[in-house]
Structure 1
């Protein structure tokens, strides 16, 4: 499909009133082949544009150059020289028409110089876009515009990234409060710092409590949108009947209780960032609307029929496996790839042991500072034994569980130093229910069931001993083995200790 896209200008109105050719009609009549559709936009002259469409249809019919569709649209811009609002509207239409058309032609003659400049910059990013001009002699020319804006922009971004990559990301003020000592976390922070200025959607992955919101806020603070708001919403906590209204807004009377119009989070975050925590909890219906907002920068309030253009960077986070959800049809594949232009995956605390000790000191300092206003509270330190015990734990709730445990230990103790026993008492015991995995065997398969069983037993014994700091009596209780001797006999059988090793 061949499409002509154009702003509507005074010269076009004059041409219609005098029944002579205007820039739009010149191009439509003299292009080598008839256009399949012509799209005309303007921020004023609605009455004149309404008259212009049938006038142009008549001109093309007389010239035997039929066009399947000629349509006009009113757009909202601040003024003919306001680049921000002109860019928003031009981007919306050029993106839409370029994706729908085999070839998109843009008229540079109608409209203001700002409109033409923006059309060139945006159009040069599309491989199927061409530019027409019309002069006073009614001659038209197809302009090549010999500048590669995309290549120059990419080169500029690459230089910026290269410059930033030579610096330690932790020196960036936006990331300086993030504890990153382990190679794994240094890589996470480095990647987040590189993604921050690129203004792409970012998907932050990680278990509950790993610090996904902290990283997301740092990305926003290190971006060009730092001076604009960041709005946060937990998608898993949104009431099903209000999710559309909360995200996209509503007009007065849209539903029972809608007593006045309401701006949704997308409008509230316009120019800034929207952080969608637990994005995997959104229903498929809402995912469709989210995709539209990402692709076209458009939203529609509940109960309204007009679209609103928004400029929002989306950072989404989830602890769920979105790839598996896509395969199961629970999450839209097109939305996943749209969100996953930049991916930051935060490892669990148990896989970055080097971060635990500095993290404990930072959290303890924060707790002491917050609690110093309480009467009779004394600041406390973590003993060496306490730290050793902390390092031995798996922290399945990650930083959130660690922070909660330290709060209980520090706030409830009257001592100056927190011991390993204080930390043990502050832990919340959880029943560790292991997921059962289905076993599939084909006829003729051979397995060593004894070896499989022994390997599982070894892993559980090692985990119990690590968690108890090597205390076999407590490990025996953890493994529900009854007598201490039962654990010792099992370890002998598994050759984890020698037959003659004395009991410790």
Structure 2
């Protein structure tokens, strides 16, 4: 055991140094793997009847994005309930949560050793470590006494790492703060630098009363950011009320926002609270706020300025304490310049702007998200396992994802349905043939290449970036001319989001 204590002395020093969060968890797991000589291992956080991977070793990278609900994983449930070391026999009939998720191995882990170490602090489960070996006798020499010591040391290490995580985001941390592990609860699946910066900005503004304007392309997850802002604020115990402004018919928009009294208009058979009142002392999330009419913008501005509203048909003023979080995929300052959005409302909403980066700028987050959505489909179809082929994972990271996270989610769901239709097996593998979007993307790239090759006779070679920008300029200019300067019609013709077209045009100096 001397070697064991030497390992943990080293890890204790590392955990109290300036390591970033990811390094703390990886260091914990690396030490476990070195001490126990296992082929695959995972450090899991326990939260809301779910195990969340914090670090993995020897497992497919998409495991980091998966969420293992106890109700769907009996082995993990056994670890959570036992309160002590759990050894699973090689012939256990309980399905292994990592079946098919070990690279370069067969889809099923036929014979192997598996041990679960629950991590307890003051008799409360905060996490677990799972260790697997391909040799069924690999762990025979490990004594339960030693494993309990390792579990206790790992629990202390995990608690230290989580406390350091809290100290980085808030000034005063108590023991109870461990129940508020925000990074994992908010369901923002990410480890990229761009999203970590966004997480820090969310932490900075969440517990203030400032209005927040969330911007970003369609499908990036603006609603998740709004939810994170609410959950990390002092208003978390109060309602978060959602309103999609783009789906509001003009005739009922004012009533939806501010409510109405009985008889205010045909069909108003009783008094009704609007979204502002429903969100009193809580948060109102106005999605696609750029779609509101100018008349309604003026009324919204008054509510923000004075904190009072009037129901439709009522002369009385009602005081509300509602925090506003707004979101849009439009470039609002350009809408202000064009006269379609009030400048005073824009400045009132964007006290603290947050920009959600597109998926193509989030490093390998696409792999984590693919794992997350795949695990959801595994539960939906009651499968034993669902995995992503190595060639597919590579392609996922290369694709541009113009529809962002929403497109990825729909692609995984569609591919799962197609893959399931080809087999009766409860072990599913998603491959390239299940995804038609790559074929379409490659056709578009091929067409662009042919066009560039055709024009290279007349245009000197400027490099790929410059040539691509020249082509984009010509395509946008031609489409804009055909649509008589109408940018919305141009966006539809080019099959591109309007906000993205405005940003691209500005970058290409076309605006």
**TM-score, normalization by structure 2:** 0.51
The question of whether the paired residues in 1 share the 8 Å contact of 2:215 and 2:354 is answered with yes
Q: Distance in 1 between matches of 2:343 and 2:185?
A: 31
Q: 8 Å contact 1:405–1:427 — kept in the other structure?
A: no
Residue matched to 2:419? 413
Secondary structure of 2:243's aligned partner: strand
* Selected match of 1:183 from 190, 193, 217: 193
Q: Tell me, in whole angstroms, the C-alpha distance in 2 between the residues paired with 1:247 and 1:160.
A: 38
Deviations 1:459-482 (CA, angstroms, capped at 9, x unpaired): 49999xxxxxxxxxxxxxxxxxxx
Q: Counterpart in 2 of 1:204?
A: 214
Matched, 1:250 2:260: yes
Q: Which residue of 2 aligns with 1:450?
A: 459
Counterparts of 2:470 and 2:399 in 1: how far apart (Å)? 14
Q: Distance in 2 between matches of 1:286 and 1:462?
A: 41
Report how far residue 378 of structure 1 moved.
5.3
* 1:37-436 alignment runs, 5 A limit: 163=171, 171-172=181-182, 175-372=185-382, 377=383, 379-414=385-420, 416-424=428-436
TM-score between both structures, scaled by the size of structure 1: 0.52
State how many pairs are aligned.
Answer: 285
Rounded Cα–Cα distance in structure 2 between residues aligned with 1:304 and 1:171? 44
Instruction: Report SS of the residue matched to 2:285.
Output: strand
Superimposed CA distance per residue, residues 180-219 of structure 1 (whole angstroms, 9 cap, x where no aligned partner): 2111000011101111101211111111110000110111
Change (3 A) 1:397 1:361: same
Which has more radius of gyration? 1
Aligned to 1:11: none
Distance 1:323 1:407, change over 3 A: same
Alpha-carbon distance in 1 for matches of 2:458, 2:299: 51
Q: Give the superposition deviation at 1:171.
A: 4.1
Distance 1:400 1:456 in 2: 27
User: Displaced runs of 4+ in structure 1, greater than 4 A?
Assistant: 159-162, 173-176, 425-433, 452-458, 460-463
Shift of 1:363: 1.4
Look up the SS of the partner of 1:228 in the other structure.
coil
CA RMSD of aligned residues (A): 3.3
Of structures 1 and 2, the one scoring higher in RCO (CA 8 A, sep 6+) is: 2
Q: CA contact under 8 A between 1:250 and 1:261: conserved in structure 2?
A: yes
C-alpha distance 161-339 of structure 1, shift in aligned 2 (>3 A): farther
> For the structure 1 residues 292 and 345, does the alpha-carbon distance in structure 2 shift closer, same or farther, using more than 3 Å as the test?
same
Task: Please report how far the alpha carbon of residue 432 of structure 1 lies from its aligned counterpart in structure 2 after TM superposition.
Answer: 6.8
Alignment partners' CA distance in 1, 2:436 and 2:205: 40
1:301/1:175 CA distance change after superposition, 3 Å:
same
Which string of whole-angstrom CA distances, capped at 9 and with x for unpartnered residues, describes residues 120-143 of structure 1?
xxxxxxxxxxxxxxxxxxxxxxxx
Please tell me whether the aligned partners of residues 262 and 271 of structure 2 are also in contact (alpha carbons under 8 angstroms): yes
Deviations 1:247-266 (A, max 9, x none): 00111111111111111110
Residue 429 (structure 1) shift: 7.0
Aligned pairs for 1:21-32 (under 5 A) are none
Q: Contact (CA 8 Å) 2:201, 2:354: kept in 1 or not?
A: yes
- Work out whether residues 245 and 264 of structure 1, in 8 Å CA contact, stay in contact via their aligned partners in 2: yes
**Alignment gaps of 5+ in structure 2:** 1-166, 446-456, 473-511
